[in-house]
Structure 1
Amino acid sequence: MLNKLQQGWLRARLLNYLLAPISWCYAVLARLRYGCYRAGIFKSRVLPRPVIVVGGISVGGSGKSPLVIALVNHLKEKGFKPGVIARGYGGKSAFWPRAVNQATCAQLVGDEPQLIFEQCDVPVVVGPDRVRNGYYLLDGMNGNGNCDIVISDDGYQHFALKRTVDIAVVDGQYGFGNGWCLPAGPLREPIAALKRADIVVINGQSTEELLRHIPACCPIYHMSMELQEAYNLADNRRRKLSEFSNRPVHAVAGIGNPLRFFSQLEQAGLDIIPQAFPDHHRFTEHDLSFADNREVLMTEKDAIKCRGMSVAKNIWVVPAKLRVDEELYLRVEALIGKGHW
């Protein structure tokens, strides 16, 4: 049932039409909730440091975490001391908030926070309450609370936390799907909610139809993911993607938009046997054991959950390098510099 529903998120089917009245109610409640925060009925907390939210209005992966990683590394180069807060979706920690470190793992704190920590080497705190996460990041990490800027991975709808910069990421390939809110569509809020964004970033190429839906008041920038040389999950051996083109390989993805990863591998000249799993899927040995013993290619976000498996020697991780409009960084720095936080 859920799979059929999600298939209709791109082009509505009968089930989606039947659920449309619920989606209309969802949209009204989303607007009402935001209105209560804006009117001061619900209170937003202000952290003593600037807060950058990298989020969006669609469920699933649109490229938020890669942008967080790129933004963190850019700010470090500029002399800032950024820290990251995140929900830690799928994490099984017994307590929150929790600091991510070398002793944690994706199963404990979530795949994306662990990946951000390992690739950025900055303080990362996870938990369902982003306000608590922020205070713990700034004050409670045993002397590590020297961050001068907080970046929230996701949280566009987490109005309890006041933000300095709101960045909304849009999947250029998927767009806004059928344009409906949950459950009949993929949207957490109506498209008009993008008016709150200080910056809109489109992941991939944008179409005229997509641009028509984005409010004219939003500054728009672009980013793209370019696949890099693969490395073996067990022993870190490296191979160019072209070295996998001599025979079919398995491509496994448990990310928000598996089709992007699959199409990029095909564009690199690979003959793939694709297998898509739900976003944040907890992989098992069975998921990755194939009778033909062909190599398995996957993203870094997925691979971080597969370390230590006996099949790791057959898994090749394909990193992706993010390319972003340089003007995006300048815009973020200008908004931070205004000091209205």
Structure 2
Amino acid sequence: MSKIEQSWFKPFGLINLILLPFSALFWFISNLRKQLYKFNVLRAFTANTPIIVIGNISVGGNGKTPFVLWLYSHLTAKGLKVGIISRGYGAQAPSYPYLVTEKSTTVEAGDEPVLMFQRLQCPIAVGPNRQHSIELLEQKFELDVIISDDGMQHYKMPRTIECCIVDSQRQFGNGLLMPAGPLRETKQRLKEVDLVVENGGNSEHSYQLEPSAFISVYNGQKLENKCIKAHVVSAIGNPKRFEHSIQQQGITLLSTHHFRDHYAYKADDFSKFGDDYVLMTEKDAVKCRGFAKANWYYLPVNAKPTQSVVNELNILLKQKGILNGL
């Protein structure tokens, strides 16, 4: 994490003061763009399929992917056919829009789309142009709803339901817009979305991340003995939460190593660990399978929303016409 990013979650300081004029410019440009869409000077494209956007108002990992995984399962359990679109951050696909398959690599599709496909085996389209991704899914599949992983600020894209995910630990940092703070939009935006869900915490509208068994990156086998000492490696938005969950399971941390979010690992990044145990997130694991050792493990987590979140979402699904007769 850079010094600027570190300053977002500390008391207001000199770095934030220097960057304030740029935040004002960011607010002016982004707000002007939003108003142009609001008054139809700029027009959103149309889609034949309802779209549920799972996004946030701050940069960095807030826990969208676990909620997308849960939402997919929730919708399909009700008999809906569901597809997913994603920006595919850092991906270099041969062409766009790109349809993720079992042969897709994280280089082609990005780490989160590959993770989601391996979990769900569902239609997932990746690309910088969300309209093209939606059109590809609509052309190739009969879908009842499309989940957009991120895209709350992409006002060109229509949306039927908006869910904003908030990290309960980091919240909104210093509350300033980028680059003086971590926010893409002001907190006022939360009043406009359909559902605000906290990742962790004790809010009525929240979800907890429940870890399952450690799985070998090398061969997919479960880790039977948790009385181990291990190095922890992560390239996610909030690594401290992950490290805490590992310690809660009685594992001793030899060291912790933080890489920038979506970092593309190389085998050399792990050479310092020798034959010691290495633990990582599932998002990290999909990028390391090609050179993993037998004692490298990842920890899958599943989102468990409160009943209030489930109830509110079901109401929205009926009100918006996505579910009828629920």
Establish whether TM, by shorter chain, passes 0.5.
yes
Structure 2 CA distance, aligned partners of 1:119 and 1:329? 21
State the secondary structure of the residue aligned to 2:191. Answer: helix
Match of 1:84 in 2: 84
Residue type of the partner of 1:155? Answer: G
Q: Is the 8 A contact 2:226 2:249 kept in 1?
A: no
State the secondary structure of the residue aligned to 2:314. Answer: helix
Moved more, 269-278 or 50-59: 269-278
Residue type of the partner of 1:229? Answer: A
Structure 2 CA distance, aligned partners of 1:191 and 1:121? 35
Residue type of the partner of 2:298? Answer: V
CA RMSD of aligned residues (A): 1.6
Pairing 1:245–2:224 present: no
Match of 1:216 in 2: none
Q: Is the 8 A contact 1:164 1:340 kept in 2?
A: no
Moved more, 164-173 or 259-268: 259-268
Q: Is the 8 A contact 2:83 2:143 kept in 1?
A: yes
Match of 1:27 in 2: 27
Could you tell me which of 189, 206, 209 is aligned with 1:222?
Answer: 206
Pairing 1:293–2:292 present: no
Moved more, 288-297 or 98-107: 288-297
Task: Assess, with a 3 A threshold, how the Cα gap between structure 1 residues 292 and 71 changes in structure 2: closer, same or farther.
Answer: same
Could you tell me which of 244, 251, 259 is aligned with 1:277?
Answer: 259
Match of 2:215 in 1: 231
Identity %: 35
Equivalent residue runs for 1:29-178 within 5 Å: 29-139=29-139, 141=140, 145-178=141-174
State the secondary structure of the residue aligned to 1:159. Answer: coil
Equivalent residue runs for 1:7-26 within 5 Å: 7-11=6-10, 12-26=12-26
Structure 2 CA distance, aligned partners of 1:268 and 1:32? 48
1:335, distance to aligned residue in structure 2 (A) = 2.0
Could you tell me which of 186, 193, 198 is aligned with 2:189?
Answer: 193
Q: Is the 8 A contact 2:90 2:107 kept in 1?
A: yes
1:132, distance to aligned residue in structure 2 (A) = 1.4
State the secondary structure of the residue aligned to 1:107. Answer: helix
Match of 1:215 in 2: none
Match of 1:256 in 2: 237
Q: How many residues align?
A: 320
Structure 2 CA distance, aligned partners of 1:227 and 1:324? 14
Q: Is the 8 A contact 1:181 1:190 kept in 2?
A: yes
1:228, distance to aligned residue in structure 2 (A) = 1.5
State the secondary structure of the residue aligned to 2:179. Answer: coil
1:133, distance to aligned residue in structure 2 (A) = 0.9
Structure 2 CA distance, aligned partners of 1:34 and 1:173? 29
Moved more, 6-15 or 73-82: 6-15
Q: Is the 8 A contact 2:9 2:173 kept in 1?
A: yes
Q: Is the 8 A contact 1:228 1:320 kept in 2?
A: yes
Structure 1 CA distance, aligned partners of 2:219 and 2:320? 47
Q: TM-score, normalised by structure 1?
A: 0.90
Structure 1 CA distance, aligned partners of 2:85 and 2:127? 8
Residue type of the partner of 2:221? Answer: R
1:312, distance to aligned residue in structure 2 (A) = 2.9
List per-residue Cα deviations over 1:141-165 (Å, max 9, x = no partner): 2xxx111101000001011111010
1:292, distance to aligned residue in structure 2 (A) = 4.7
1:239, distance to aligned residue in structure 2 (A) = 1.7
1:291, distance to aligned residue in structure 2 (A) = 4.3
Could you tell me which of 247, 252, 264 is aligned with 1:266?
Answer: 247
Q: Is the 8 A contact 1:254 1:281 kept in 2?
A: yes
1:29, distance to aligned residue in structure 2 (A) = 2.0
Match of 2:296 in 1: 315
1:49, distance to aligned residue in structure 2 (A) = 1.5
Residue type of the partner of 1:307? Answer: R
State the secondary structure of the residue aligned to 2:246. Answer: helix
Residue type of the partner of 1:5? Answer: I
Q: TM-score, normalised by structure 2?
A: 0.94
Structure 2 CA distance, aligned partners of 1:103 and 1:236? 17
1:35, distance to aligned residue in structure 2 (A) = 1.1
1:59, distance to aligned residue in structure 2 (A) = 0.6
List per-residue Cα deviations over 1:268-307 (Å, max 9, x = no partner): 2222111111000000111122345210000111100111
Residue type of the partner of 2:38? Answer: R
Match of 2:286 in 1: 304
1:263, distance to aligned residue in structure 2 (A) = 1.3
Gaps of 5+ in 1: 212-219
Residue type of the partner of 2:222? Answer: R
